[in-house]
């Protein structure tokens, strides 16, 4: 066999080996892609389950509100908390405020409150109960 023939056979063998390596590598890549897609699908399902769980808990927290009513309630509360923190209140103070207001949830105002806070709530120009 001539050197040229041997070289051609060697070249063909290299191409076959290279093609086999490339095919094997492509098979590995395809397998990895399939595994990645399966993992992403499992991840997506867990995310959806977490979102549904969170939605359910928020709905319970807001008295069974659902859909747009729940979104509106959360948005209003978020906006209010943002305003309170912007005015300098801490989350702890806001929590205390929320705890205090829940004790007076009926927001009733009776005559004893009027006696107790009467001067504080009057707006006459002659009343200077806070001046020294």
pLDDT (average), residues 104-125 = 45
CA 113/CA 96 separation, integer angstroms:
21
- The answer to whether residue 9 is domain-embedded is yes
50 and 75 fall within a common domain: no
- What pLDDT does residue 6 have? 60
48 and 74 fall within a common domain: no
- The answer to whether residue 107 is domain-embedded is no
Contact indicator for 59, 70 with CB cutoff of 8 Å = yes
15 and 44 fall within a common domain: yes
Overall pTM surpassing 0.75 (yes/no): no
Grouping H, G, I as helix, E, B as strand and the rest as coil, residue 37 is helix
- The answer to whether residue 112 is domain-embedded is no
CA 84/CA 92 separation, integer angstroms:
11
Distances (CA, A) of 38 to 46, 70, 119, 129: 13, 33, 70, 72
> Over the stretch 83-111, which tens digit does the pLDDT of each residue have?
999 999 999 998 888 887 555 545 444 44
């Amino acid at each position: 066999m001539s050197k040229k023939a041997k070289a051609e056979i060697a070249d063909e063998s290299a191409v076959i080996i290279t093609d086999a390596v490339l095919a094997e590598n492509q098979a590995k890549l395809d397998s990895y892609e399939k595994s990645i897609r399966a993992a992403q699908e499992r991840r997506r399902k867990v995310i959806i389950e977490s979102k549904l769980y969170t939605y359910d808990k928020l709905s319970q927290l807001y008295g069974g509100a659902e859909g747009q009513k729940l979104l509106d309630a959360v948005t209003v509360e978020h906006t209010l908390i943002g305003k309170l923190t912007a005015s300098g209140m801490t989350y702890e103070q806001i929590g205390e405020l929320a705890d205090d207001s829940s004790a007076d949830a009926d927001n009733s105002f009776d005559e004893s409150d009027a006696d107790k806070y009467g001067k504080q709530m009057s707006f006459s120009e002659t009343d200077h109960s806070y001046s020294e």
